[in-house]
């Protein structure tokens, strides 16, 4: 049912057209059986035979036309569903808050957007074929009812046996399928560790063996065993269904003539119909396990979407179609700002605040403090990436409204410690390539990478070089406020000095506001002010 509801919702006009044509095609296939049987009984009558030949040809053309239509458009439909689903969920992900994104974890998003959407789309095409077969079965059953009511009741009995058997196996299979999906999310999480931790695993055989043999392999085996178990429960059901229909055939051939006084010709016709529908019946029952799997995938995606919807209902809608106009800025004030991470059990975890600081436009502000003091958390609050639990940000004395957060965030260029380097200058339409090349030279990157046909030739750079490239990109973004989270930590003494003594003064001259988390006390003189954070709070301002 979930699957049908999903199809109805997601398939749109093309889906309705395919459904109609497929069902008509199925009905004509069912009628084909009656035409063949009619033609066989009228084989000796010349005129009758010609009439059946004509009907046979018309039915054949209709069937093939319907088949051609549904085969040609099924790809369009299934790929369209995958595209819409992926883009819709990806669009919701990009609108979610950072905290939600961090707590969900990428493995879940990746599994749902890749493997599970594919499971759904392949099932859709199988289900379309099976639905034509289902209609054909229906027409064949009606024909059996027309030939003999007792035979029809027996057929219904066989059908009921199949339905009960499938209900039984679905009730055991569904929790198993759900468990398989959860395990696969875990499996992809381990694959992420394998890929992200490639170097660490390469140099440590024990770690490598432990991850692979004690975690990855057992999980893969568990997933396989569970899948085999689920599959086996469907094998039993398939056997029960096939036995029910063979039993039906036996009863119709051997018992019907005795107990229901059915004529030999009727028995032959009914037996032929049953033999004729064996293939379509196998197709219909064969698709059930796939539909069960797709239903679990649909439920998982719907659950994720409803979590995303719930998340998005708490944040103002963001319009990505237009570039947000910068807010007028004289100063940013952080007033009594409080924020807590949540522990896995939902209780408040590490807390920062209350934080109070006013940052005038054009100031160079350094934040220093020990590891875990809360600097990065403060920067995420300051840049509007985290929503405070208490207190607020004020712009020029006015409280920043939730609806202004999007515009506010867009005034920042931020380089976090775990920054991501994009291969292109996304968002920059008219790249000043001369300026870019000058910067590449200044950062001694011109021999390493170049900007060609809208992308950097390589991003295989050292950590310090990657950071320098991220700095170039931040400078080209030309935002009024720049935030650096320990940018210079990976730089050699020359570039560290260049950053504090050339780049920052240059930015200050341009009127930019700079907020930098740093441990480089040698260069504190480059700041207008230095604040110290400990245990999530600002303590006495450190001397410059
Ligand atoms: N996503 C998160 N979920 C839960 N807790 C977090 C998260 N990110 C950070 N924390 C916690 O917040 C505390 C402060 O971390 P933060 O990164 O803000 O410190 P920091 O001052 O930038 O440290 P460092 O100098 O090491 O970069 C840490 O103790 C950490 O446990």
Parallel/antiparallel/unpaired status of strands 513-517 and 451-452: unpaired
Residue nearest to atom 3 of ligand 1 (CA): 341
Residue 468 · residue 400 · CB < 8 Å? no
DSSP H stretches of helix in 42-148: 46-95, 98-104, 106-111, 117-147
Distance 374 CA to ligand 1 centre (A): 6
- For residue 537, report the distance from its CA to the centre of ligand 1, in Å: 13
Q: In what order do the strands lie in the sheet with 537-539?
A: 412-415, 481-485, 513-517, 364-368, 529-534, 537-539
Q: Are 420 and 476 in contact (CB under 8 A)?
A: no
Atom of ligand 1 nearest to the CA of 536: 14
Atom of ligand 1 nearest to the CA of 369: 21
Question: How far apart are alpha carbons 224 and 215 in whole angstroms?
Answer: 14
Domain boundaries, the chain: 74-313, 348-539
CA angle 244, 250, 255 (to 5 degrees): 120
- Ligand 1 pocket test: pick from 352, 375, 486 the residue with the most ligand atoms within 8 Å of its Cβ: 375
pLDDT by 10s per residue, the chain, length 544: 777 777 777 777 777 788 788 888 878 877 887 888 777 777 666 667 778 788 888 888 888 888 888 778 877 788 888 888 888 888 888 888 888 888 877 777 887 888 788 888 888 878 887 888 888 888 888 888 888 888 788 777 877 877 787 777 777 777 888 888 888 888 888 888 888 878 777 767 888 888 888 888 999 998 888 888 878 777 877 787 778 778 877 877 777 776 666 677 777 877 887 787 777 887 787 788 788 888 888 888 888 888 989 988 887 787 777 777 777 888 899 999 999 988 878 788 888 879 999 999 999 999 988 888 889 999 999 999 898 988 999 998 899 888 888 889 888 999 998 888 888 878 777 777 788 888 888 888 888 888 877 788 888 888 888 899 999 988 888 889 999 998 888 888 888 898 999 989 999 999 999 999 998 888 888 889 999 998 889 886 544 4
Domain 348-539: assigned CATH number: 3.40.50.300
Q: Provide ipTM, 2 decimals.
A: 0.94
DSSP characters over 125-145 = HHHHHHHHHHHHHHHHHHHHH
Ligand 1 pocket residues where CB is under 6 Å: 102, 341, 349-350, 369, 371-377
**Reduced to 3 DSSP states, what percent helix, strand and coil does the chain have, rounded to the nearest 5?**
65, 10, 20
Q: What are the helix and strand counts (H, E) for the chain?
A: 18, 12
Distance 184 CA to ligand 1 centre (A): 29
3-state SS record for 468-507: HHHHHHHHHHCCCEEEEECHHHHCCHHHHHHHHHHHHHHH
Most ligand 1 atoms within 8 A of CB, residue of 373, 382, 483 to mutate: 373
- Of the candidate CATH numbers 1.20.1560.10, 2.40.50.100, 3.40.50.620, 1.10.3720.10, the domain formed by 74-313 belongs to 1.20.1560.10
Pairing status of strand 390-395 against strand 398-399: antiparallel
CA–CA dist 238, 219 (Å, integer): 28
C-alpha 236 to ligand 1 mean position (Å): 53
From the list 454, 379, 444, the residue with the least C-alpha distance to 418 is: 379
Determine the distance separating the centroid of ligand 1 and the alpha carbon of 371, expressed in angstroms: 8
For ligand 1, atom 17: residue with the closest CA: 376
Give the β-pairing of 481-485 and 513-517: parallel
List CB contacts of 215: < 8 A, sequence separation 6 or more. Answer: 190
Distance 286 CA to ligand 1 centre (A): 52
Encoded tokens for 85: 């689903």
Give yes or no for a contact between 117 and 82, defined as CB atoms under 8 angstroms apart. yes
How far is 182 from 346, CA to CA, in rounded Å?
A: 21
Give CA 212 to chain center in angstroms.
26
Atom in ligand 1 nearest the alpha carbon of residue 102: 1
């Amino acid at each position: 049912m979930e699957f049908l509801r999903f199809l109805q919702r997601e398939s749109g006009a093309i889906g309705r057209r395919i459904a109609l044509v497929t069902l008509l095609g199925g009905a004509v296939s069912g009628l084909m059986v009656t035409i063949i049987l009619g033609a066989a009984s009228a084989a000796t009558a010349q005129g009758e035979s010609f009439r059946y030949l004509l009907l046979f040809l018309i039915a054949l053309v209709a069937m093939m036309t319907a088949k051609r239509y549904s085969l040609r458009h099924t790809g369009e439909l299934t790929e369209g569903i995958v595209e819409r689903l992926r883009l819709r969920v990806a669009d919701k992900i990009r609108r979610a808050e950072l905290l939600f994104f961090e707590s969900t974890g990428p493995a879940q998003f990746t599994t749902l957007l890749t493997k599970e959407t594919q499971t759904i789309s392949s099932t859709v095409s199988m289900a379309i074929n099976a639905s034509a077969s289902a209609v054909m079965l229906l027409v064949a059953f009606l024909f059996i009812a027309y030939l003999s009511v007792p035979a029809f009741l027996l057929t219904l009995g066989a059908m009921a046996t199949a339905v009960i058997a499938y209900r039984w196996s679905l009730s055991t299979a569904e929790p198993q399928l759900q468990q398989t999906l959860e395990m696969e999310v875990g499996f992809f999480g381990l694959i992420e560790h394998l890929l992200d931790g490639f170097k660490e695993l390469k140099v440590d055989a024990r770690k490598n063996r432990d991850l692979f043999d004690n975690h990855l392999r057992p999980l893969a085996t568990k997933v396989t065993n569970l899948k085999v178990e689920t599959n086996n429960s469907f094998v039993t059901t398939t056997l029960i269904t096939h036995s029910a229909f063979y039993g039906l055939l036996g009863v119709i051939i051997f018992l019907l003539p005795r107990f229901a006084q059915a004529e030999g010709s009727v028995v032959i016709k009914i037996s032929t119909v049953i033999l004729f529908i064996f293939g379509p019946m196998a197709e219909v029952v064969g698709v059930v396990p796939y539909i069960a799997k797709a239903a679990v995938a649909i439920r998982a995606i719907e659950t994720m979407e409803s979590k995303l919807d719930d998340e998005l209902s708490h944040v103002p809608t963001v319009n990505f179609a237009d570039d947000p106009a910068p807010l007028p800025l004289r100063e940013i004030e952080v007033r009594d700002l409080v924020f807590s991470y949540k522990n896995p059990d939902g209780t408040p975890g590490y807390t920062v605040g209350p934080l109070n600081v006013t940052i005038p436009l054009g100031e160079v502000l350094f934040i220093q403090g020990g590891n875990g003091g809360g600097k990065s958390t403060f920067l995420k609050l300051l840049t509007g990436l985290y929503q405070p639990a208490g207190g607020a940000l004020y712009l020029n004395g006015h409280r920043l409204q939730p609806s202004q957060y999007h515009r506010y965030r867009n005034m920042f260029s931020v380089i976090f410690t775990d920054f991501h380097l994009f291969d292109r200058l996304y968002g920059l339409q008219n790249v000043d390539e001369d300026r870019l090349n000058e910067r590449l030279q200044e950062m001694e990157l011109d021999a390493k990478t170049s900007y060609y046909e809208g992308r950097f030739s390589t991003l295989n750079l050292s950590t310090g070089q990657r950071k320098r490239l991220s700095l170039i990109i931040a400078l080209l973004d030309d935002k009024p406020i720049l935030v650096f989270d320990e940018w210079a930590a990976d730089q050699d003494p020359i570039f560290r000095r260049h950053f504090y003594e050339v780049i920052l003064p240059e930015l200050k001259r341009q009127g930019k506001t700079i907020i930098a988390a740093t441990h480089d006390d040698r260069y504190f003189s480059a700041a207008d002010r230095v604040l110290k954070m400990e245990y999530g709070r600002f303590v006495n301002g450190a001397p410059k």
